[in-house]
Amino acid sequence: MSEQQLSEQELIRREKLQKMQAAGIDAYPAPLFPVSHYSADIKAAYTEETKDSFADVCLAGRVMSINDKGKVFFIKIQDSKGIIQLYVKRDEICPDEDKSFWDLVIKPLDLGDFLGVKGFVFTTKTGETSIHAQQITLLAKSLKPLPIVKRDEEGNAFDEVTDPEFRYRQRYADLVINPSVKETFLKRTKLINSIRNFLNERGGLEVDTPVLQSIPGGAAARPFETHHNALDIPFYLRIANELYLKRLIVGGFDWVYEFSRNFRNEGMDRTHNPEFTVLEFYVAYKDYLWMMDTTEQLLEKAALDVNGTTDVTIGDKTISFKAPYKRISIYDAIKEHTGYDVSNMNEEELRATCKALHIPVENSMGKGKLVDALFGEKCEHHYIEPTFIIDYPVEMSPLTKKHRSKPGLVERFELMINGKEVANAYSELNDPIDQRERFEDQVKLMERGDDEAMFIDYDFLRALEYGMPPTSGIGFGIDRLCMMLTNQPSIQDVLFFPQMRPENNG
C-alpha cells in the first residue's frame, strides 16, 4: 500500500511507530509472554476473600478503550475470554526520572494495540474488578484503526458494525469488534465435538478420504475441476466422500465416519456456499429405520450440548429437537400440499403437473428431478419441526437400496428442519449389478444435458463386486445444522471465511 493510499490515522500510527523504533523500543518483541490469567476467570473468581491469590497476575490483550487522566490511564483490554480494565499510573510504570516509555508508548497508545500487563487485582471505587498495572509491555502496535463500536456504561454495544461485506471479508476484525461472533464459532466447535463423542462412544471410527478425486462421486452436483500436472490428467475436488467410506465398509470396518470438506461448483445464497462441511457415516448391518432412530438421538444430544436445551430458537420460532420426529413419505407430502397424487405418474405426467403448478422445468430433467422440484417448491418450506421425509422414488436415488415392500421406491429419508434439508440417508445399495444400471441411467441424463448427473465410478463398482454387507449411511450438513443451533440467518455467519468475490485492489 502506498503513502497516498494511507488514511490520516494510518499515517499517524506509522509516525508513532517510527519514533518508538528510533528510541530503541521494539514494537513487535519476541512472542513469549507468560500469561497466567484471563479476564473472565479473574472477574468470576475475584472477591475480598480470594484477593491474595490475585496479588500477582499476568495477562495480555488488545486495547479497546483508553481514558486519559494525565498521569493515570484507565485502559480496557480484550483477551480471548472478555474485557477487563487496567489502572495504569505513570510514576509506577516509570518510577525513575526517565519517562520516555510513558511518552513514547503509553500516551500514544492506539485502540487495537496489544499490551502485556503484570500487576494485582483490585476493585475500583465504582466496583469494577480491575488490574493495577505494575509493569506494561507493548506486544504489537496496531497500524490500522478498528471500526468503532459504541458501548454504554455497562459495556453493552449499541452501535455494532453490521455490514456483511466488511464482516465476512475482514472476519479477523469482525471477531474483535463483535464478541457475539466468537460465541457462534465456539458453539460450532461444541456441535462438532458433541457429534464426534456420540459416534466414538458407539464404536464409530473417524477416517480421512481423498479430497482430490479422479471421479467426483457420491452426489448429484457440479464439481470443481483442476489438473494434476505430474499425471497430466484432470482431477476434481470432492463433492461427497460417500463412495470412499463405503469402500471401507467393503474392507471390513463396521462403522466409519468423516467430517468432510466438500466443494460444489454451484450457486451461492443464504444456505449454500461452494465450500462446506458435511458429516457422513456408514454402519454395517443397519437400515434406514435404525438410522432415523440414531439421528434423533444424535441431534437431541447435540442441542443439549450446544445450548443446554432441546428447544432451539430459530428466527421467531422455537423448534424442539427432542425425539421422536414425525415421518411422512415424499409422495404423501406432495399430495398433502399440492392435492396431486404423483405416485404413479410417468415423466410426461410429472412434467405437466409441474407446469400446472407453475414450477419451472427443463427438458434435461428426468422423473427424479421433477419429483424433487415438486417437493422443493411446494412442500419443503412447510416442515418446520424436525420431520423425516421417507421412501423416495428410485429415480431420485442412484445409490439407495430398493424398498423391501414398495415397488418403485427406495429406502431413503431426508431430515427437514425449519423448511430446510439437514440430513440425507439411505439403506445403501449393495447390489453391484443394480448399481451399475443406476449409474448407466445417470449417464443417459448427462447426455441429455444434466450437468449434475453422476459419473460412473468403475472402481467403486469393483469394490461392490467383492461384496458389501447390508449398510445404512447418512450425510449431515454441518453448516446448516450450526445455523439452526446458533440462530444465524445465513451460512456465511457460521463460516469463518465464506467465499467472496476478490477485492478490486487495482
Q: Which residue shows C-alpha cell 470438506?
A: 261
Determine whether 183 is exposed, middle or buried from the number of CB atoms within 10 Å of its CB (0-12, 13-18, 19+).
exposed
**DSSP secondary structure letters along 374-422:** HHHHHTGGG--S-EEEEEEEGGG-TTBPBPSSSTTEEEEEEEEETTEEE
How far CA 415 is from CA of 131, 264, 389, 441, 495, in Å, comes to 51, 21, 6, 26, 22
Any known ligand binding at 414?
Answer: yes
Neighbours of 466 (CB within 10 A): 10
Alpha-carbon distances of 308 from 11, 198, 201, 297, rounded to whole Å? 48, 16, 20, 15
d(CA 195, CA 187): 12
Cβ proximity of 441 and 408 under 8 Å: no
Question: Can you list the positions of beta strands (E) in 177-334?
Answer: 205-206, 212-213, 225-228, 233-237, 255-263, 275-284, 311-314, 317-320, 326-329
Q: Which three cell numbers stand for residue 46?
A: 475475584
Count the residues in the chain: 506
How far apart (Å, rounded) are the C-alpha atoms in residues 72 and 91? 9
Strand ranges, E, within 428-498:
471-477
Provide the residue type at 100 as one letter: S
- 130 φ, ψ (degrees, to nearest 5): -140, 170
| Euclidean distance between CA atoms 376 and 357, whole angstroms | 12
C-beta of residue 504 within 8 angstroms of C-beta of residue 169 = no
Angle between the N-to-C axes of helices 367-378 and 347-356, in degrees from 0 to 180, rounded to the nearest 10: 30
Neighbours of 407 (CB within 10 A): 7
For residue 505, give the amino acid letter: N
**64's grid cell:** 479497546
* CA atoms of 287 and 470, how far apart (whole Å): 8
CA distance 258 to 256: 7
Residue ranges of alpha helices (H) inside 36-95 are 39-45, 90-93
Residue with cell 478420504: 209
- Spatial contact of 253 and 205, defined as CB atoms under 8 Å apart: yes
Binding site, annotated residues for Mg(2+): 414, 421
Binding site, annotated residues: 414, 421
